[in-house]
Structure 1
Amino acid sequence: MEYVIELLERERKSLERGVRDQDLMHKNMNQATLQLKYINELKRAVKILKGKSTANIR
């Protein structure tokens, strides 16, 4: 479970870095919006998985 969480967080960080480095908010707002939606989905998935992994420990 920890491995999957780590992969999702790494992907999220990579996407965030890409949006910043490519200056997508100024150059291509549609693509930036899609990337940010995907980032939010990854954050939500990580939060759910972390909650489930801590629930299994108890």
Structure 2
Amino acid sequence: MLYNEGRGPLWVHHDMECLAFLLAVLTGTARTDYFGHLYEVLKPTEHRFETADLALGTSGQ
């Protein structure tokens, strides 16, 4: 798996296939400096679903 750093000529190699790499990045098990910021994001302790009316601020008219 090779990916470009996005802003220049640098490429990073990982010894795995693309799907395995994507899964590792999304699950936080990839060892990469480029995607390190993904693991620093604070995860909310609670999630609550809302109806479309509440989320969009519309009334049920």
- Which TM-score tier does this pair reach, normalised by the shorter chain? under 0.3
For normalisation by structure 2, the TM-score amounts to: 0.23
| Larger RCO, structures 1/2 (Cα 8 Å, 6+ apart) | 1
**Greater gyration radius:** 2
